[in-house]
């Protein structure tokens, strides 16, 4: 059984909503470090879902890399003050861009993406048809005719 790009596009918004729901649930039950750091990791998980929504055939490691780098860029942009200014005007901007730079967040983004990369890899390997080699495997060269003359 193979998972199609269409199936991935249908599942990724559902995954993002589940990550958001989990983040909101944690916010209700905790007011400390778990709330802050799980929110950061789950934000990265939502970005990962967005990457796969846009590029459903992307391999696990590149998808995780794009999601993590995007999160790092957004976090580092907070050093400019632009996200803080936008966040003062819009709740959506505040949720998407944050307000102030926190270097600890740079470590929590990969923590939110890495388990998804592993799961993505396992699912991809499990659903790949056995008759077709993986894309990253170079097929052996075609057998060349052998000259049998003395």
- Give the tens place of pLDDT for each residue, 5-15: 999 999 999 99
- Give the tens place of pLDDT for each residue, 74-131: 999 999 989 989 999 998 998 889 888 999 999 999 999 999 999 999 998 888 765 5
Asked whether 66 and 51 are in contact (CB, 8 A), the reply is: yes
At residue 25, what are phi and psi to the nearest 5 degrees?
-60, -45
Asked whether 66 and 58 are in contact (CB, 8 A), the reply is: yes
Asked whether 75 and 106 are in contact (CB, 8 A), the reply is: yes
Model confidence, pTM: 0.81
- Give the tens place of pLDDT for each residue, 32-72: 889 889 999 999 999 999 999 999 999 999 999 999 999 99
Lowest mean pLDDT: which of 2-6, 10-14, 142-146? 142-146
């Amino acid at each position: 059984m193979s998972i199609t790009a269409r199936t991935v596009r249908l599942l990724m918004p559902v995954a993002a909503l589940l990550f958001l729901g989990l983040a909101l649930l944690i916010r209700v039950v905790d007011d400390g470090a778990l709330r802050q750091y799980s929110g950061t990791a789950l934000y990265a998980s939502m970005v990962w879902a967005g990457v796969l929504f846009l590029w459903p055939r992307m391999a696990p490691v590149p998808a995780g890399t794009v999601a993590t780098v995007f999160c790092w860029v957004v976090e580092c942009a907070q050093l400019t003050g632009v996200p803080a200014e936008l966040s003062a005007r819009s709740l959506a901007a505040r949720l998407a861009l944050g307000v102030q730079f926190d270097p600890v967040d740079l470590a929590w983004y990969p923590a939110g993406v890495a388990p998804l990369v592993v799961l993505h890899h396992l699912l991809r390997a499990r659903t790949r048809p056995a008759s077709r080699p993986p894309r990253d495997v170079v097929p052996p060269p075609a057998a060349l005719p052998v000259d049998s003359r003395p």
